[in-house]
Chain A
């Protein structure tokens, strides 16, 4: 039987590729990232119910590109001189700085395409991580201090596939009743209502079952300490988010990024350490972290580091200007670095 890799390794790999994608708008590079993610997901997808749904992320990504371009076409922006076509213009007060309709510039559409593609790539990376990493094993690997979050995630993850089943069942049952046809509201009520009540029932039953089986048993730690550790953890996690965003964005002041990240890590670590003392759990068959895990996570980090370094050297190739309307160049070095990301196909 093929061993499922540690979920953390997949997340590191996906985050690495996402970081790389966030550094570029070059359509060739982004397409390469997409292809790499797609190939790895196809090759390494485990055989389990929660591993479905990658197609959903792909669809969502396509929709994101569509929306981005549509907004540009209708609302304009991005400048340019080459007129593609003209839309009827709606007068808006000039003070708002907005316009609707009018001339659609080739440059602005191309720019939107590049931007949309980047966003779509980030989404697909996230989707791949969700599909490849078993969410339940990830919760297990997470620190025990995040137990309350664990309940919510476990319930969501378990009830979601059951929701699909019950939707199918209810839709089938709806056919049985006379006068099955009806207005759209009717359908929503007939299907959605039973499905939602079913989902609520199931969530409650699962939460009760988890409670009855000792989930979240508290070892003797005073209430005050518990609260403090909780607050520290939450604030810390916010700090980590802000710091990571600031570091990745590149346009935000350097004085925000690093300090927020460091403070966040310190606070959340404190929270976790204090919180972990209150819940004593053990892990059955802990997911080992072996050579494949090292390799998979290392490729992610390498791809991210490679592109960040490359952006320092020649930013132009990574972010081709849309205002020139010429074919972007494929920077070979960066291309090779991204291809490295497909290594998990061989090792996992």
Chain B
């Protein structure tokens, strides 16, 4: 269905090509997951399939990409719209019309489909994706998961043979992500659509994948069965990491497969002591104590009288559905004590406005009345060496997050609030960021992280607070809260249920092996 034949592509002015001499074929009805570090070119690879790369982005592409027998050399993206459906990273940014129904019809209008057929296909698609009740809603009022499903529906009405999804679940809470992926997997099985999806949250998608396209970062692209790719790839979901540690063969990719192998492991772990979880700093006096926090916007109550206390050395994860009031609570806590608290917002780039990393660092030192070089040193500690002349927009997601975090840490805040920090991070960058968060706590700060990322919570959190409809519905030690509900449980906990083990690291420590 899709074939790359000796394809090399580089952006104009770039030193190295994004991919070099790449050849592979994807057969009809396959679900492929593209994996790779952030900034390695996963979106570029997706764009190359429908011709957005290079027709829209510029750059030089050599070799041949053919989709359903048509070459992107001759066909513009708009000419391929009936064969390839493309859903970008931010579905809201790609919406052309105002309401769900119009959005679903848009592509058919462009293709010149007869009005009667359009009506029929809109109805079918609404049902297929389970969004029939949303038909006349304004697109801007939908939740993230609903927007993602509408965006997929909006390309499906053209009845394409190929669906390209760029990080379809990154911004979604676990339940919404599950809804979207269930819909996608149904398309593959019922209609035989070929799906190519780029995704960082491997634990969510890997068990659906027929094949994995791994981008190595040096221009190489390897395509293979998930088992073969994860045998060597450093990017792997927890289930694979656990299986590799326990030498399970054949490599399980889903919780179900892993549980079949896990019986002896569960028995073994039952004899070992419970994982030691605890904060390195323990002192009674909370750094922040808020009672009855109430946040209201015109017409909505975002946070309804919530009590929060943050103790030094504690990492608190704030979880809950999209729109449950997590961000509002973080901002309210920040405003309570702006001197002691620093917040890194959801899009950290909003804080940056200078043209180079070194300028940003210097400005930050000056603003905080710190010695020259303080911020730069912090950046180095958090994310390693960053090219000081680079434009902040050109940094990888992880580097940009590190830069903003460093700027926010210069003033020496006792309380650090992070809003959805792991959104664009690949597993390796996320692991490094988890270390950073633990270091911050070890220095006696209180850290609160609003996140959807269950695995990240399992890695870092001491305490988990779950919000719904602006209220706190659960608040307790991480293991207890996370293991008590299926939606919020990390993969390792699901595999080893009913024992409360959260991460591969904990298991490795208990067994005395190096993870």
A residues within 8 Å of B by Cβ?
1, 48-50, 134, 136, 140, 154, 158, 161-162, 169-170, 172-174, 176-179, 189-190, 193-194, 197, 201-202, 205-217, 280-286
Kindly list chain A residues whose C-beta atoms are within 8 Å of the C-beta of B158: 213-214
Closest chain-A Cβ to B99's Cβ sits at a distance in Å of: 9
Contact of A215 among B110, B334, B367 (CB under 8 A): B110
The number of A-B residue pairs with CB atoms under 8 Å apart is 156
Cβ-based interface call for B289 (8 A): no
Give B57-87 interface residues, CB cut-off 8 Å to A.
76-79, 81-82, 84-86
Q: How far is the CB of B371 from chain A (nearest CB, A)?
A: 14
In the complex, are the beta carbons of A209 and B96 less than 8 A apart?
A: yes
Contact A208 B88 (CB under 8 A): yes
Q: Inside 8 A of A280's CB, which chain B residues have their CB?
A: 112
What residues on A are CB-neighbors of B77 within 8 Å?
208, 211-212
> In whole angstroms, what is the CA distance A50 to B140 when docked?
12
A46 CB to closest chain B CB, in angstroms? Answer: 10
Task: Point out the residues of chain B lying under 8 angstroms from A1, CB to CB.
Answer: 136
Name the distance in Å between A177's Cβ and chain B's nearest Cβ. Answer: 6
In the docked arrangement, what's the CA distance between A212 and B165, Å? Answer: 13
Report B404 CB to chain A, min CB distance, Å: 9
Bound complex: CA A40 to CA B127 (Å): 39
Give B342-361 interface residues, CB cut-off 8 Å to A.
342-345, 347, 349-354
Interface residues of B (CB under 8 A from A): 50, 52, 55-56, 76-79, 81-82, 84-86, 88, 90, 92-98, 101-102, 105-115, 118-119, 122, 136, 138, 140, 154-155, 158, 331, 334, 342-345, 347, 349-354, 364, 366-368, 393, 407-408, 410-411
Q: How far is the CB of B372 from chain A (nearest CB, A)?
A: 15
Give every chain B residue within 8 A of A216 (Cβ-Cβ): 78, 110
Contact of B102 among A202, A206, A281, A284 (CB under 8 A): A284
CB contacts (< 8 Å) of A285 on chain B: these are 101-102, 105, 115
Is the Cβ of B111 less than 8 Å from the Cβ of A212? no
Identity of the chain A residue whose Cβ is nearest the Cβ of B366 in the assembled complex: A179
Please give, as numbers and ranges, the residues of chain A lying within 8 Å of B110 by CB-CB distance: 213-217, 281
Contact partners of A172 in chain B: CB under 8 A: 331, 345
Smallest Cβ-Cβ distance to B338: which chain A residue: A175
15 contacts between A and B (CB under 8 A): A162-B93, A173-B345, A177-B351, A178-B368, A208-B88, A211-B52, A211-B78, A212-B81, A214-B79, A215-B96, A215-B110, A216-B78, A217-B81, A284-B102, A284-B115
Contacts of A176 in B (CB 8 A): 334, 342-345, 351, 408
Return the chain B residue nearest A191 by Cβ. B353
Q: Is A283's CB under 8 angstroms from B109's CB?
A: yes
Closest Cβ–Cβ distance, residue B135 to chain A (whole Å): 12
- Give the chain A neighbours of B136 by CB distance below 8 A: 1
With both chains docked as a complex, state the minimum distance between the C-beta of B49 and any C-beta of chain A, in angstroms: 11
Q: What residues on A are CB-neighbors of B344 within 8 Å? A: 176
Contact A49 B138 (CB under 8 A): yes
Residues of A within 8 A of B105 (CB): 284-285
Alpha-carbon distance A92/B122, docked complex (angstroms): 70
What separation, in Å, do the CA atoms of A217 and B107 have in the docked complex? 11
